Amino acid sequence: MNAVQSAYPQPLATGTPGARGGEAYPLGRMRDEWLRLRDAGLLLDTASMARFVADGFLRFDAIVPDELNRAVLAGIADGTVTGGGGYVGEPLAGVWDAAHPIGRVLALPRVRGLIASLVGPESRYDHHAVHTVPARHPWAQGWHADAAIDRKAHFDIQIMYFPQETTRAMGGTLILPGSQFRMIHESEAVRYQNFRGQLHTVCPAGTMVVVHHGMWHCGQPNRTDVTRSMFKLRLNPTVRQERLWDTRRPGDGDVHEILNRTQPWHGSDCRLEIINRIALWRLVTGDAAWDSALWMGRIENDPRAVISDRGADEDAS
């Protein structure tokens, strides 16, 4: 490893989370499920994966049908969908039974496909929370990244599921596209109030916004008479996050163009952002030499051949 490589976040030494990894997440079963999802066309395409690496999020409008959205909202109201839980690291598959509204959401084929594409077909449940903002709640949450500062190259995802139509006035979660590589500890970002390029979640019912664990975000005021709820679910990978999407599907967009498209708030750091994206793209493609516009290649260029007198002398000896 050279000096440049050592500056990037490095993968953890242990690839499978949890002491029970081998028993809880059998590789053969996971591969069979992944192949089923791929053959059914349910995995993400390459351009979508590149957009996740570049922007730190993907959005899936109305991916959950209305009947199920209503069941989830009813569950939140009557307590069937609990306000939070987790933090022990059990397999996601055993957390909600098939008949539970959240179990039904997670069983939706497209939802299974996006989860499998990002963190594997049998991910680990980290925690969930129902964020409810009462009607006429006047205050915004400060900008933050969840959990603690986290430099690992492998990423968790957080699914933000909006079971009701969310207007700007209702204050859907505000995210900062392209912030996933910004290493901060939790609420240290509250000193910022606004960014050029910040993105309010305004979406139809049943939308999921899936973010990298490093994404900066904050809840927003609710200026309506309607209570707003968002179900958040954090998932950890249980397999190496290498080529988990459908690499046979190129999708709409060129990977190089996507990874070189920076955010308006990046400013003079934009090239460092691209370098971090390339490092992550190398991880998810398994191609340690992948590069774009020679951003990494020129930094890593470390010629060793000597053709001057000393080199010639050594050849002759």
Q: Which residues bind another protein (CB under 8 A)?
A: 3-4, 6-8, 139-143, 174, 181-184, 188-196, 198, 200, 218, 220-221, 264-269, 272-273, 275-276, 279
Length of the chain counted residue by residue: 317
Minimum separation from the CB atom of position 28 to another protein (A): 38
The least distance separating another protein from the CB of residue 54, rounded to whole angstroms, comes to 14
| Cβ proximity to another protein, 12 vs 40, nearer residue | 12
Q: What kind and span of H or E run contains 103?
A: helix 101-107
User: Cα separation of 41 and 249, whole Å?
Assistant: 9
Give the residue with the Cβ less far from another protein, 82 or 187.
187
The least distance separating another protein from the CB of residue 297, rounded to whole angstroms, comes to 15
DSSP character for 159? E
Q: Are 311 and 268 in contact (CB under 8 A)?
A: no
Which H or E run contains 84?
strand 84-91
Identify which of 99, 146, 150, 100 has the alpha carbon closest to the alpha carbon of residue 127.
Answer: 146
- Which among 105, 98, 97, 110 has a CA at the least distance from the CA of 67? 105
Of 181 and 245, which CB lies nearer to another protein in the complex structure? Answer: 181
Report the amino acid identity of residue 148.
A
Q: 127 or 192: whose CB is closer to another protein?
A: 192
Beta carbon nearer to another protein, 204 or 221: 221
Say which residues have a Cβ less than 8 Å from residue 313's Cβ, sequence separation at least 6.
none
Nearer to another protein, 265 or 290 (CB): 265
Count of beta carbons in the 10 Å neighbourhood of residue 297: 13
Q: How far apart are CA 15 and CA 177, in angstroms?
A: 27
The minimum distance between CB 5 and another protein, in angstroms, equals 10
| Smallest distance, another protein to C-beta of residue 57, A | 16
Structure tokens at 91: 């397999």
Nearer CB in complex with another protein: 3/99: 3
Tell which residue, 295, 236, 274, has the closest CA to residue 50: 274
**Could you tell me the smallest distance in angstroms from the CB atom of residue 235 to another protein?**
24
**Distance in Å, CB of 6 to another protein, minimum:** 6
